[in-house]
């Protein structure tokens, strides 16, 4: 079995590769730049005691349909975990390129799933599909059945993900193919690179290095958090499970406010300096996700926020 991981050298993608190797599955990694971050991934492969030769690499521009098709023509692929996506400022500052990557590129992958009869496709959507305001849903955890229209959105990224999900359901219904997607909440861990939410690393990484963390929201702000390795494990288990009961899954994990976030970091780093911006009431995200569906589907419970923070801090200190 070989699993194709597009965007496999990215923040979540590299963790997906490691989770697959832990299960002794061969991986084909594609990325726009297969040099950047490759050494880091191979170092982490050695750390977990796995053979780096079980990973093959191929450059892929997800906007190039011919390059995508070559991947599928020339490799025997069992399933695909698609993480080739333009996030953060690219969606706002270069919407044409972002559309080619995020909309046309993802739909091209859907086409390959049908044409080459791939057993399963899993991709990461986003909690931003729910819009920017928890108030829209009331004081409760948001479920997979909830929806808000584009007038409630803040991120162009989220609307693009909404279209990806819509198209996925069309392909499932029309062709009977197996596609599943998760809606990750705030994915935290070490290794983010210039995203719109670098604060999801800085809140603990900077104190781990003796630096102050400045967070762009109030202490009263609430967010739902999941550690990056657990987010990756969810994607892997969805890709490998023989049959799925649903196509859409919240990642969930743990919701907490800024006060609890600060207390968690200071429990590990007592002298941590964390500052909040009380002029910003909240992040443009929902506060809470109901994750009962995915926990039951794949029989997996993510670690606690505190355990994830410990892992993040350890990674920071080992890397520095």
For each successive 10 residues of the chain (320 residues), what is the average pLDDT? 96 97 98 93 96 97 98 98 92 95 98 98 98 96 96 94 98 98 97 82 97 97 98 98 98 97 98 97 96 98 98 95
What positions carry a catalytic annotation? 157
User: Coil, strand or helix: which one is 313?
Assistant: helix
pLDDT recorded at residue 83 = 98
CB 227 within 8 A of CB 280: no
pLDDT recorded at residue 194 = 65
Half-sphere exposure of 291 (CA within 13 A, CB side): 26
Identify the bridge partners of residue 187 per DSSP, sorted by sequence position. Answer: 226
Predicted TM-score of the model (pTM) = 0.97
CB 28 within 8 A of CB 20: no
For the structural domain made of 2-186+228-253+286-303, what CATH number should be given?
3.40.50.720
Find, among 260, 262, 263, 190, the residue nearest to 228 by Cα.
190
Q: How far apart are CA 92 and CA 90, in angstroms?
A: 5
pLDDT recorded at residue 108 = 98
Q: How far apart are CA 148 and CA 34, in angstroms?
A: 37
DSSP alpha helices (H): ranges in 226-257? 228-240
């Amino acid at each position: 079995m070989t699993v194709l991981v597009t965007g496999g050298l990215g923040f979540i993608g590299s963790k997906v590769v490691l989770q697959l190797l832990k299960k002794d599955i061969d991986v084909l990694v594609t990325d726009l730049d297969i040099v950047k971050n490759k050494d880091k991934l191979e170092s982490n492969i050695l750390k977990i005691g796995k053979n780096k030769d079980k990973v093959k690499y191929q450059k892929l521009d997800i906007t190039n349909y011919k390059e995508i098709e070559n991947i599928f023509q020339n490799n025997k692929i069992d399933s695909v975990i698609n993480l080739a996506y333009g996030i953060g400022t690219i969606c706002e500052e270069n919407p044409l390129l972002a559309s080619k990557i995020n909309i046309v590129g993802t739909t091209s992958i859907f086409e390959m799933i049908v044409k080459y009869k791939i057993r399963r496709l899993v991709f990461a959507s986003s909690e931003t599909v729910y819009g920017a305001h928890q108030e829209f849903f009331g004081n409760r955890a948001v479920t997979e059945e909830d929806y808000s229209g584009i007038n409630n959105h803040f991120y162009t990224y989220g609307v693009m993900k909404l279209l990806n999900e819509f198209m996925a359901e069309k392909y499932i219904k029309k062709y009977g193919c197996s596609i599943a997607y998760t809606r990750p909440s705030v994915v935290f861990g070490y290794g983010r690179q210039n995203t719109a939410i670098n604060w999801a690393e800085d809140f603990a990484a900077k104190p781990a290095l003796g630096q102050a963390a400045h967070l762009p929201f109030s202490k009263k702000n609430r967010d739902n958090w999941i550690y990056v390795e657990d987010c990756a494990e969810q994607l892997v288990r969805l890709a490998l499970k023989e049959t799925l009961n649903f196509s859409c899954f919240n990642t969930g994990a743990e919701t907490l406010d800024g006060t609890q976030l600060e207390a968690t970091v200071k429990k590990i780093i007592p002298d941590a300096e964390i500052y909040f911006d009380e002029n910003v009431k909240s992040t443009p995200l929902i506060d809470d996700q109901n994750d009962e569906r995915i926990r039951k589907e794949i029989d997996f419970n993510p670690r606690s926020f505190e355990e994830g923070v410990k892992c993040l801090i350890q990674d920071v200190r080992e890397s520095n």
